Structure formats: structure tokens, C-alpha cells
Chains A and B, each alone.
Chain A
Amino acid sequence: MSQANHLSRLERAARSAGRRLKLRRALTAASACLPLPLGYAAVVVGLAKVLPLTVAQARPWLWGTLAPAAFVVAAALRGAWSSRSPFEGALALDRHHGLEDRIANALAFSKLPVAERTPLMQAAIADAAERAPKLEPRRAARIRLPRELAYSAALLVGLLGLAVLEVRQLRVLPPPIVQVQPMLLSADDVELFREIGQDLAKSADDPQVSAAAHRFNQLVEDIAAHRMDRREVFERLGSLERELAESSELDREAQDEGLKELARELEKSGLTKSAAEALSEKRLADAEQALRELAERLKKKQSPPSKAELEKLRSALQKASAASSEHQAGIDQRRKELEEEEQSLLKKKQQGDSSPRNEQKLAENRRKLERLSRDKQRSDKSQQQLSELDKQLQEAARQLMQDAQAAGQSLESAAEDVNRMGKQQQTDEQKKEMLKRLQELREVLRQQGKGGKEQMDRMQRFGERARGGGKQPGQNGQPGNGSQPGQLRLTRGSGDGPGIDVPMPGSSPGAGKEGGQDGAQTGAQAGKGYGQGHDEHLAGDPTKLDGKTQDVTAAGVDSGQGAASAEVIYGAAQRGFVGRGYQKVFTDYQTVAEQVMQQDEIPPGYRFYVRRYFQLIRPRD
């Protein structure tokens, strides 16, 4: 091998040794600085354990470790690239092989131009070149783990130990989060009850009713926001219902009866006839107006009534007062009975043993007692109002023949009493309306709670379709199952999947119609069972079984003012319960249904389902 080759070999070996030395210096420098970040981290972890700090609180301090870590990196780089002799590697080789700087000198001389090299220099280069094959850069510049690394390792072990160490702290744990299973109400129903709540709030003119309407709205909003579980919802509903029930002040029945008797007597005088008619028809505002007019007439002495008329009026007022007194006596009697009954129940309650057998009876007595107490309060209130009216009428009768003006004033006071009664009745009506809505809400929630998530999903889909959204009808139709007893199958005629089952007690008329096989059918196919209803096209006596019915054909008059009701309903089933036409038809049908429910004796449980049905098919905006 030529001298040039040996020289290049020398250079490679020297470079290799030089690189290793750089790495060694970097390691040494980094090891010397490593305790800094480790120590810092140990302090932070220690503080986090002792104070203690949360992860979020400790995070900025732990990020602070980056600064000393960066310092370590900088120290390593500085160590590696610190200015050193270009022959550092060669010197290391010389040291290791005991060559007394032969390699370093040879490399230094080889950098000189050949002409400048003396024979001794060339001899030195040749001398070093001869030793090139035996050079071992790896051994000449060993990369040993620096001693300082031991301190860092010890610190690291300490740090890990500190991280694992559990410092016992007395911590006040936050109360366990109770997973609330929120009460669910479909968006469609939420919207319905929102509207109801808004209507109630608008119509409320009594502060108590207004506050109750606000609470109703809040309840609906809380349900919509899934802030309450089932138990809480029903608790609040119950609380609201109790408050409304307790605050219903009047015994309406007794009061109406009292007013009717009053009207019957007042009718006998021509002067109070209009007031009597209004009272008998429960038009308290008109009665008030009539009494006021009469009082005005008495006071102003313009076109004063004749003596005979006055006498008749006096007599009527006296009789009315007497009738009122009698009625009051009746109410009083009833009140007394209630009191006795209450006392009796209280005694029973006190004497009753606590055996399980009597528990149910006691609970029943307790409820009865509460109801009686409420009834008693109402009777008292009604009696108080009627007795006020009675007093005024009696006073008017007494003064009538002596001082018509004073009598007029008494009649005015009586008119005011009637006005108060009217307002009270109105407030009671509002409360009853709200109670009815609360019961509806309770029933809806109860029904939806039974159906679970599946029911909720169905309601959700139904609500979307009712607004004209969702899937188009007519796809993958499922036949409706109208033949199941006790269930009204509400489908939209399209058979677009499962319908909404509204459970109905008893048996359906059997004329439930199956959903269409596809979207084009309207569910007109007859059910499997025989029906108990009537063909709506049939006229005549439905109970006549000899079949000799009289067919009457009524041809509709085409007014050109829009689609027929059947078309509108069909369209609504297809597109959702929207549009003016549908709204009109719905209103007509609902009005009829309400009238029927008022006129006929329909069990309250059934009324709910009828109302629910109309709620579900109500027009959407």
C-alpha cells in the first residue's frame, strides 16, 4: 500500500477518533448539567405531592423543566463543538498507541506543500504511515459513561420514587356525581306544552295564576333541557297541582246553586229581571251591570220607579235575602257535616292502631280528611261571599222605601260583590284549566316513560313527519294493526314504518284500518275483525237491525273554495299536519270532539286519549 493510502487511512482514523471525542465531551457536559432539570423536576413533583397540586396546576411548572433541559442540550452542543485542535483525534491515537505524537506530527507535516517538507518531515510522515494499519480509533477514543451520570441516575431514581410515592392527604372529595336519567319528552310534545304554557301565561290575570303559569313553563323548559329526572319531574308536577288545587277557593257548585235561587227571587221584580236572568245564566258581569244600572236609577231619581215597582223590588230583595240565608244555612249545614266528619276521622286516626291492616284505612282516612278540609275551606269562602251579597241585598231592601239613594248605594255594593264573585270564578276557571293541562302533561310523561327509548324515537319521527319533514311516505310500508283490541293504531296511511300506539283501555271498535301495503295506499282496507261501528254513509236508525235502512245520498256542493275535508286529511297524512286547509278542518273536528266530550258522559281517562289524539294531529306551523 502506498504512503498516500496510509496517509488517508491516518486521516480517517484521526477523524473517527475526533468525532468520538466530541461525542464524549457532549456526554460529559450533558451529564454534568443533567442534575439541574432532574432536580427541578424533583422539586416540582415533591411540591405537587405535598401541597398538593393538581395536574393542571403542576403543568406550567413541569413545562418549566424545559428551560434546564434546554440548558443541558446547549451544554452538550457547546461541549461537542468547543474549539479544539484539528489534531485532537490524532493526538488521542498517539496517546493510546504510545506513538509520541507521530500521527499528529505526520498529519501536520502532510498539510504542508511537498516542496516545504524537509527530509526529516518526510521521514516522520513515513514513520507514521507505517503504523497506520494498527490504529484503533474506537479504543483510542472510548466513549465511557461519565461519572456525573451516576448522580443523574440517582436523581432520576429519586424522582421516579417521588412520583410513585403517595403522600397521604386529607382531601375533601366532591360528592359523587349522580348520573341523572333525564326525563325525556319528544320535541313535538315540548313544543305543544310550550304553547300551552304561553297561552296560560297570557290569559292569567291573577298573580297566583300567573306565577303558576310561570312555574309550568319553567317545568316544561327543564324537561326540554333534560335537567330533571323522572322523580323530580313528577314531584314538581305534584307540588304545582297541589298548590293549584288548594288555592281553588270556591265551592262552585254551592255558589252556583245560591246564585240560582237568588235569581229566581229577583226575577219576580221587573226592576231586577235583567240582573236575575244574568245571574241564572251565570253571566255575573251582566248581572253586575244590571244591578249598577238599577242603583244608578234609584240614586238619580230620574224616571224613578213607581211605588208598586219599588214594593215589588223590596219584596223580591227580601225574599232573595231570605233565600240566600236559607242557602247559606244549607252550606253551613254541609260545613258542619264536614267538620263532624273531619273530627270523626281525626279521632279514628288517633285511636287507630298501627297494624298493617289498618294502615291502608288510615291512609285513606288521611286523604279523605285532607279533601274534606279543602272542601270546608271552599264552602267557607263561598258562604262568606254569598253572605256579603245577602247583607247588601237586605240593606237595600230595608232602605228602599225610606231612602232610594241609600238603597241604590247598597245595590252598587251588591254589584261589586257580584263582580268579585265573577272574578274569583274566572280565576278558578284558569286554575282548573291549568290543572287540566298539568294532568295532561303528567299523563303524557307517564305514557312516554312506559315506551322507553323506542317510543321516544317513534315520537321523534312522528313529530318530524307531522311537520312535513322526515322520510317520504310510501317506503317499506308496514301494515297497520288495527285489529288489536284496546289500541288505537294511529298511522298516517302510508305504512311508512311503525305508527304511534296510543293505548286505549277497552276494545277498539274493530274498524281499525290497516295501513297500506305501500305508500300509495291509504289504509282503506278493512281490518280482519268485524266492526261494531257504523258506516258513516248510512243514514237512518242505526239500531234497526232489519236492514231496512234508508239510504240518503247527500251530494256536496262544489263551492270551488278548496279541497274537501277528506282530501285535506289525506294530504295532511301525506305531507304532514301543515297548511291552512288542514288547520280549518282540524279546528272543526276538534270543536265537535270537545262538544261531544262536554255533552256526553265520557270517562275522564278516555277524554285524555281523545285530547291526546287531537294534540298529536294538531296543525304545525
Chain B
Amino acid sequence: MSDVEAAREEVQVFQKQVGTLREEIGRVIVGNREVVDGVITCVLAGSHALLEGVPGLGKTMLVRTLAEALALEFSRIQFTPDLMPADIIGTVVVDDSATGGAAKFEFRKGPVFANIVLADEVNRATPKTQSALLEAMQEHRVTVGRTTYQLEEPYFVLATQNPLEMEGTYPLPEAQLDRFFFKLMMPFPSRDELHTIIDRTTTDHEVKVSRVLTRDDVLGMQKLVRRVPVARHVQDYAIRLVLATHPGNAEATELVKRFVRTGASPRGVQAVLLGAKIRALFAGRFAASIDDVRVSALPALRHRILRSFEGEAEGVAEDKILDEILKKLPESKG
């Protein structure tokens, strides 16, 4: 088998695996295809997702289902203001149960030591606790005292935020938001979807999620994602797109100039392009396209744009700003 054929097969397998995963999740989660794909994208990108939506939309259910379908270890942390870093990372305790009566210190791993971590209502915890989680997210390791513990791959954190109850919360600072690969908006289900949800949850119909992908499968898929090539013009488009979110850039739109204080970081370009690659693989293509970039742009950049005071005061949504950029930015430029 030639390299080309092998690559073709790899992509086909990837597409099939993703399809299977989608189907399995879809057995539990009704609708929300974009959010499901976004979450899967974050997993395959080896990064994390910030999920925003009102309570009761199935955020926890989504993550749990994903963990079950992937046969990965899952933990859930409910963030509260009194939650301490040790509560999520783990703590050192004295273990005197050992034979011989000699007591010894033992590190007890916190909930972050899982493959998939659901950080529920992450903005309710204090910044100190938030930053403890964010270190784990970024470095995929945890340092307690003088000991560093490597987190097991794949490692995926899905943090949620409730956009309504902002009283007494600690909004994530920009530096920490930037660590999330995608920010996904959980929409309210449609009427038909609600019918389906009611049918599934208020009857004795019980759905058992099967493990469709192994840990190795996920790691293999993550590697394939990294190998997907991006043509120069596509990459250029992604870069221009991110640069256009900066008010001082020549291609910045009127909304950007008026309502944006700081544009997306280079990490934003990485997220956009990785998201584009994964989307290309979802479609069975061998390279990312401009359309892939465009689709990835919203979830990858919406939490990376820092609105100005005027933007916040007038309630101009980040999505609106990005939509205008996507609409006006020409695909090609010499």
C-alpha cells in the first residue's frame, strides 16, 4: 500500500470513527450537532472547551456521554466560591494505615486526574482555584509541593459557564480564557428536540452508551489531525482573519474599530487552523479549506476578543463582530 493510499485509508477511518462517536453521543444528546462536533474537535485537538449555556441544557450529560463513548475516565467538579485548589488538584494526607505503624505522607489525586474533566460553573470559583485548574489544562500536569504529576493523555477539560447568574462570580480573565480551544454556546433546544428529550427522559427508556473508541484511537486521531496539511493561502486567510480582529489592522471592520479593545492572540490562529483541519477530516478531505477556517473562527475566537467599554456597554456580541469580519474579509489577497 502506497503512502497516499495509506493516508486515504487513515482519513477514511478517522471519518468513520468520528461518525460512530457522533452517533453514539446522538443517542443521548438530542440535536446540538455543532456543540457535539465542537466538543469532539476540542478532544481531537488535545485541548479544552468552554461551554456556555443556561442550566439544564445537557452540558454535563454531553460530557458524560462523551466520556462513556470514549472509554475514558471522567470526573466532574462543581465549582463554588469556597472550592480550594486542593479540592480539585488533590492533597497530601498522612497515611498511618501502613504496616509497622509508621505514618507517611501520601498524595491523594483530585478530580483533575481524569481524562475528561467537567468543570461545572467554573466562574463561581475563586481565581486561585481557577488558576489551579488552568495550569493543569495548559501543562497537562499538576505540581503539588515539589512533586509534579503528569496527567494522563488524552486530557480534556470542559468548563461550563452560566451566562445568567453572574452575581458573585469570578469571570475568567483573558489569559485564562485564551487557554480554552473553543468556546461553545449551548443553544436552547427546538420544539422537536424538546419532544425527543421529553420522550427519552420521562419514560423508562434507558439508553446505554457504548464505548466506541479507545484511548489509543483518540490519541491516534489526535496525531492524524496534526498531520493534516494547510495550504499557504488558507493559512494566510486564517492569519488575516485573526489580525482583522485587532482595531489597528488595515482589514479591521468598523465594528472592530469601534467596539474591540484587543483582538485575538496567536493562540487564536492555532485554534482556528486546528479546528479547520479537524473539520476537513470530518468531511473526509485531506487538507483544510477556507470554509473550514470560517466555521472554526467563531468558536475559536469569540472568547479571545476583548471588547471595549463601549462594546460592552452597547452589548455588541463578539459573534456579531466576527460575523462582520467573516463577511467582509476577502478570501484571497496578493
Please list the residues of chain A having a beta carbon within 8 angstroms of any beta carbon in chain B: 82-88, 91, 94, 100-102, 104-105, 108-109, 118-124, 126-127
CA distance A91 to B228 in the complex (A): 19
Is B4 a contact partner of A91 (Cβ separation < 8 A)?
Answer: no
What residues of A have a CB within 8 angstroms of the CB of B7 in the complex? Answer: 118-120, 122-123
Contact between chains at A91 and B331 (CB < 8 Å): yes
Shortest CB-to-CB span from B217 to chain A, Å, is 19
Given the complex of chains A and B, what is the CA–CA distance between A119 and B286 in angstroms? Answer: 9
Determine if A105 and B234 form an interchain contact, defined as CB atoms under 8 angstroms apart: yes
Question: Does the CB pair B291–A108 fall under 8 Å?
Answer: no
Which chain B residues (319-334) contact chain A, with CB distance < 8 Å?
A: 331-334
Report B-chain residues with C-beta under 8 Å of the C-beta of A86: 233, 334
A99 — nearest CB in chain B belongs to which residue? B289
Determine whether the beta carbon of A120 is less than 8 Å from that of B286. Answer: yes
Besides A91-B332, A120-B227, 9 other CB < 8 A contacts?
A85-B233, A86-B233, A100-B289, A105-B234, A109-B287, A118-B229, A120-B7, A122-B4, A124-B285
Per-position 1/0 for B288-318, Cβ under 8 A of A: 1111100000000000000000000000000
Q: A85-B233, A85-B333, A87-B332 are in contact. Are A105 and B6 (CB under 8 A)?
A: no
A83-B334, A84-B334, A101-B234 are known contacts. Are A120 and B290 too (CB-CB below 8 A)? no
CA distance A84 to B333 in the complex (A): 4
What residues of chain B have their CB less than 8 Å away from a CB belonging to chain A? 3-4, 6-8, 11, 227-229, 231-234, 236, 280, 283, 285-292, 331-334
Q: Sorted from nearest, which 10 A-B pairs have the closest CB atoms?
A: A85-B332, A83-B334, A101-B289, A108-B231, A119-B3, A119-B7, A124-B286, A105-B287, A100-B289, A124-B287
Partner of B289, one of A83, A105, A109: A105
- Whether the Cβ atoms of B334 and A123 lie closer than 8 Å is no
Instruction: Give the Cβ gap from B194 to chain A, nearest Cβ, in Å.
Output: 33
Q: Which residues of A contact B286 (CB under 8 A)?
A: 105, 120-121, 123-124, 127
Chain B residue contacts of A100, Cβ below 8 A = 280, 283, 285, 289, 291-292
The answer to whether A101 touches B283 (Cβ under 8 A) is: no
* CB closest residue in chain A, given B3: A119
14 contacts between A and B (CB under 8 A): A84-B332, A85-B331, A91-B233, A100-B283, A100-B292, A102-B285, A105-B231, A105-B289, A108-B232, A109-B229, A109-B231, A118-B7, A123-B4, A127-B286
Shortest distance between the CB of A576 and any CB in chain B (Å) = 88
Q: Are B3 and A122 in contact (CB under 8 A)?
A: yes
Nearest CB on B from A92, distance (A): 9
Q: Bound state CA distance, A105 and B290, in angstroms?
A: 10
B334 contact set on A, CB distance < 8 A: 82-86
Q: Are B287 and A101 in contact (CB under 8 A)?
A: yes
Which residues from chain B contact A105 at a C-beta distance below 8 Å? Answer: 229, 231, 234, 286-289
CA distance A124 to B288 in the complex (A): 10
Q: Note all chain A residues with C-beta closer than 8 A to B333.
A: 83-85
The chain A residue with its CB closest to the CB of B284 is A127
C-alpha spacing A104/B232, complex, angstroms = 10
State whether A120 touches B291 (Cβ < 8 A): no
Pair A123/B11 contact, Cβ less than 8 Å = yes
Q: Name the residue of chain B whose CB is nearest to the CB of A87.
A: B233
Taking CB as reference atom, which chain A residue is nearest B283? Answer: A100
Distance in Å from the Cβ of B279 to the closest Cβ of chain A?
10
Specify which chain A residues have a CB less than 8 angstroms from the CB of B229 in the assembled complex: 105, 109, 118, 120-121, 124
Min CB gap A25→B, angstroms: 12
A104 and B291 contact, CB distance less than 8 A: no
Complexed CA–CA distance, A122 and B227 (Å): 13
Q: Which residue of A lies closest to B277 (CB)?
A: A120
Q: A85 to chain B: which residues have CB within 8 Å?
A: 233, 236, 331-334
Structural contact, B227 and A101, CB atoms closer than 8 A: no
Q: Which of B229, B234, B287 has most A Cβ within 10 Å?
A: B287
A104 to B234, CA, bound (A): 9
Judging by beta carbons under 8 Å apart, are B231 and A119 in contact?
no
Partner of A101, one of B4, B236, B290: B290
Q: Which residues of A contact B285 (CB under 8 A)?
A: 100, 102, 124, 127
Asked if A91 meets B6 with Cβ closer than 8 Å, knowing A108-B231, A118-B227, A124-B285, the reply is no
Bound-state Cα–Cα, A126 to B287, Å:
12
Contacts of A127 in B (CB 8 A): 285-286
